[in-house]
Amino acid sequence: MAGVARQQAAIFSRKCRVFAPVYPEYTVPAIFSGQLTPDVIARAYAGVKAAWHEYLKKYNHGRGIVLIGHSQGTGHLGDLIQQTFDKKPKLRKRLVSAVLMGGNIYVPKDERVGGQFQNVPACARRRRPVASSLRPAS
C-alpha cells in the first residue's frame, strides 16, 4: 500500500516534502456489497486523523500545507478540513491548497463558502501558473 501512495505522489515529491498516510481503506467490493458501514468509514477516517495529528506534531514545523485527496481520500480530507481548518483560523492561514478530486465537496452555487465548509473558500481563479517541473511529461 505504501508503494502505491509513493507512486501516486511522485510528481509532487520532486519539489515538495510529501507525507501520505496509510490508513484502513475500504475496497470497491465492500462499497457495492453493503459492507461499508458507518463503523468502517469511522475507522478509516480515524486513521487519517491520527496521521494528520502525527504530521502536525512531528513534521510540519509551521510550514504551509497542501492537501491532496482522491475518491475516499477526498471524503476523509473534506471531513478533516471541516473539523480542523474550518474551525481554527491560525491553522487555516497555513492551508495553501486542497486538491480534492474524485469525490464530492459541497459549496452552494455561485458561492465560495457554505455547504461543507463555512470558512475555507473554494477556488475563484488560478493565481499563478503551474510550475513546469510539476507538469507531466508530454
- Domain carrying residue 73: 2-134
Rounded to two decimals, the pTM is 0.80
Tens digit of each residue's pLDDT (9 = 90 or more) over 82-124: 999 999 999 999 999 998 988 888 889 889 999 999 999 988 7
Per-residue confidence (pLDDT) for residue 90, from 0 to 100: 94
Note whether 6 and 128 are within 8 A (CB).
Answer: no
Percent of the residues in the chain that have a pLDDT greater than 70, as a whole number: 86
SS (H, E, C) 64-98: CEEEEEECHHHHHHHHHHHHHHCCCHHHHCCEEEE
User: Maximum CA pair distance of the chain?
Assistant: 44
Note whether 13 and 20 are within 8 A (CB).
Answer: no
Could you say which DSSP state residue 20 is in?
-
